[in-house]
Amino acid sequence: MTIRHAMALVPAVLLLAATGVLATQVEYVDPRDLIFVTDDKTGWVAGCDAISVVDSRNGRKIASSKNRWSPGRLAVTSDGGLALAPFTNNERLIAGMEYQPGGGSGRWRSFYVPAGIVWGSPVAIAPDDSVVLLVMGGRIEKHRVNEIRDGFLRSPVGSVAATGVSDLVFAAAGRRAYVVTAGGDVAILDTVRMVYEGGPIDYEPVHTPAVRRIRNTFSALSPDGRYLVINTGVAKVNVVDLEARSSHVLDTPGLKKTYGLAFDYAAPDSARLAVHGHTAVALYTFRPNGLELLDSLAVPGQIWPETPIGQEFERVGALAWTGTGDGLVAAIGGVQEFRIINVLPGAEPQLESRLDFDACELRLTGAYGYQFDVVTTNKPGMAPPPTATAIATASMTPTTPRHTPTAPLTPRATVATTSTPTPSPTPTASGTPTRAPVPLYLPLALSERCDPQHKRADVALVIDTSSSMTGQKLEDAKSAAVLFVGQMDLAPGRDQVAVVRYDREAEVVCELSRARAVIEAAIRGLAPRNWTHIDAGLWTALAELQSPRHLERNIPVMILLTDGVQTGTPGEEVRAAAEVRAAGVRLYTIGLGADVDAATLREMASDDSRYHFAPASADLARIYAEIASDIVCPAPAGGFWPRR
């Protein structure tokens, strides 16, 4: 097996920002080459007490978060640009490491977020990196990833009761998660509505003292999404059939114990399952009715102190595939904390040690490693590896995307230009060679202009003020709405604007008015509350547009903004929207963020062109400006020239 050459890293430079955030400047590393680990440092243990980022090609540490007491279970975004780890002690914080790009290099920064995290609990980030599941007291809470990046944990966007949660695994599509409990149950969670689907599925829990069970439960979702494999601590694993809602156990040939489990998602058609047996790592072909041993490799067994703290914190045998699927990373303890294992390709894959590494260079006399977790970007729903070669093409008219998603790291791809021999000119009868045709670019002068069908409108701004809008989203929504008002003609006899907020109820906070200061003050005074009764917002706005304040010569317009889905009776928002349209109101809908139901909002709008999606709240100003332009100056049939 050929190991790719390592990309050189610039020497680490520690930067201490004014906020006290530790940052490390590094050159770009392919996210598939990143390994994220956590370990502990005490009087008898040498470790980092931090999240560490390591290059899988050479075992070199790229960066570590600030030292704190025992960050535990890990989750990373699909691009490897953000890692989160709840603490295993009673500080109840979330540690974070985020990559911030800048040209060909960037920096890793670390941060902490106060939160009531359960000791040693798991954390899971959705495949689209929009939300994260955290175990808080007796509940699983759904939070927005971008808000955690801001360093402050706001109100959850959904939660559900749960106790003894030992693992959380998102399905590849992200609309479901599997909740594994220490008591021997697997629950299927609808992560959009945050409700359980049916009853729990029984499985055989880990054979370990109860105090260790949460930390020593590992699970892995099969690449086809049907089976969840869970360790038992002894020489067998559970296979939970998520479709049949049943489970059974399989023997693990070559192992006496079972801890960390990992499928290789870099090869989606693969059924390769790796299992950490504490003193050995085994590779199997997974079949629901049996495991076929392909190879195994002895590794040092982790050493844990026989102290109350050691027994309480113990997490044995964390394991992950490398992002490229060419190797495994196993927690092994001893003098070196982690081992990278090559998986040699072939009809009969073999395991061989590549290298061992420490998360920290600190070595204490007689000390040993004390690891918690290891993860990579090899996870359900991961994008396929970039194609080795691609044909470079050129477009006559460059296209600007409607929005550009922010990605901390962008996988590299090798671009190759295929050279095609130019055919020799063919002489004509006159002896003059025929020239090959080439594109001819001519200037094009357009004299299209907006021919407004009207200059007068009564507009109701219907704004979601549910708790999920707390913080930057609501602030950006207010700013965008104020900018929208600035584009309306509020001269006497012209446009009017009303403001309606909705959450657990709906309220007209500003009646139809031309008083700009009054309208803007109403917008800036919006505050978040609970629930998302979209239907109530629509009915309340419709009543205002049909009130005596509505000017008959003005067309009625409604702009609905939401970052979630209907609370209460499903379908009521669709029925309310139908009534709004039937009343002759032009209805625009805006969906903000990953939790909206785009199909429903598109159905609610007056037509497809009047539904807008805002990936982030920063996009709202642009969208409100587009809507203002459409109200004042509707596009002609077929659109303006570039869209015809």
Torsion-angle region of residue 137: left (phi > 0), alpha (psi -120 to 50) or beta? left
Same domain, residue pair 466 and 371: no
Q: What is the CA radius of gyration of the chain?
A: 29
Answer yes or no: is 446 within a domain.
Answer: no
**Residues in Cβ contact with 553 at an 8 Å cutoff, skipping those fewer than 6 apart:** 456
Q: Which two tokens stand for residue 347?
A: 């009809």
**Quick check: is 7 in a domain?**
no
Exposure of 595 in the CB half-sphere (CA atoms within 13 A)? 26
Q: pTM of the predicted model, to two decimals? A: 0.59
462 and 319 in a common domain: no
Q: Is residue 342 part of a domain?
A: yes
Half-sphere exposure of 322 (CA within 13 A, CB side): 23
What tens digit of pLDDT does each residue of 459-515 get? 999 999 998 999 999 999 999 999 999 889 888 888 999 999 999 889 999 999 999
- As a residue count, the chain comes to 644
Residues 251 and 359 in one domain: yes
Residue 445 in tokens: 């002068």
**Amino acid identity, position 391:** I
Query: Which residue shows structure tokens 């906020």?
Result: 19
Instruction: Give me the pLDDT at residue 305, please.
Output: 61
CATH number at residue 588: 3.40.50.410
Does 482 reside within a domain? yes
CB contact set of 138 (below 8 Å; sequence gap of 6+): 161, 162, 163
Per-residue model confidence (pLDDT) at position 382: 73
Dihedral angle of Cα 303, 66, 119, 145, to the nearest 10 degrees: -130
Both 201 and 338 in one domain: the answer is yes
Decide which of 375, 410, 443 is a domain's last residue.
Answer: 375
For residue 308, what pLDDT is reported?
Answer: 57
pLDDT digits (tens, 9 = 90+) for 603-620: 999 999 999 999 999 999
Q: Are 287 and 164 within one domain?
A: yes
Beta strands in 503-606 (DSSP E): 506-513, 555-562, 586-592
State the amino acid at position 523 in one-letter form. Answer: I
The answer on 475 and 348 residing in a single domain is: no
User: What pLDDT band is residue 328 in, cutting at 50, 70 and 90?
Assistant: very high
Residue of 139, 146, 97, 143 whose CA lies nearest to 118 = 139
d(CA 620, CA 592): 8
CA distance 478 to 499: 11
Residue 314 located in a structural domain: yes
Considering the domain architecture, whether residues 475 and 567 belong to the same structural domain is answered as yes
For 224-290, the DSSP string reads TSSEEEEE-SSSEEEEEETTTTEEEEEE-TT-S----EEE-TTSTT--EEEEE-SSEEEEEEEETTE
Sign of CA dihedral 353, 359, 362, 366: negative
- For residues 155 and 289, membership in a common domain is answered with yes
Q: Are residues 470 and 352 in the same domain?
A: no
* Tokens standing for residue 298: 């002895």
Give the model confidence (pLDDT) of 398-427 as tens digits. Answer: 333 323 333 334 333 333 333 334 444 444
Over the stretch 38-95, which tens digit does the pLDDT of each residue have? 887 654 445 577 888 999 999 988 888 877 666 788 999 988 989 998 876 655 678 8
Strands 105-114 and 93-102: antiparallel
Domain end marker among 344, 375, 406:
375
Q: Which of 321, 348, 375 is the last residue of a domain?
A: 375
CA distance 375 to 62: 15
Residue 115 to residue 93: CA distance in whole angstroms: 5
- Residue-range definition of the domain harbouring residue 474: 457-643
* Whole-number pLDDT of residue 164: 92
Closest among 29, 2, 36 to 377, alpha carbons compared: 36
In a domain? residue 151 = yes
Strands (E), 58-203: 61-64, 75-76, 82-86, 93-102, 105-114, 123-125, 131-136, 139-144, 158-161, 165-170, 176-181, 185-190, 195-196, 201-202
Claim to verify: residue 464 and residue 354 sit in the same structural domain: no
- Whether residue 106 lies inside any domain: the answer is no
- Does the pLDDT at position 639 exceed 90? no
Give 195-239 pLDDT, tens digit per residue.
Answer: 999 999 999 999 988 778 888 999 999 999 999 999 999 999 999
Q: How many domains does the chain have?
A: 2
Give the pLDDT of residue 18: 24
Find out whether 201 and 247 touch, Cβ atoms under 8 Å.
Answer: yes
Residue-level pLDDT at 93: 74
**pLDDT tens digits, 141-184:** 999 988 887 677 888 999 999 999 999 999 988 899 999 999 99
**In the chain, % of residues over pLDDT 90:** 52
Residue 405 maps to a domain: no
Can you read off the two tokens belonging to residue 606?
């007056």
Tens of pLDDT, residues 533-571: 999 999 999 999 999 999 988 999 999 999 999 987 888
CATH number at residue 314: 2.130.10.10
611 and 479 share a domain?
yes
> Using 50, 70 and 90 to split pLDDT, how confident is the model at 269?
low
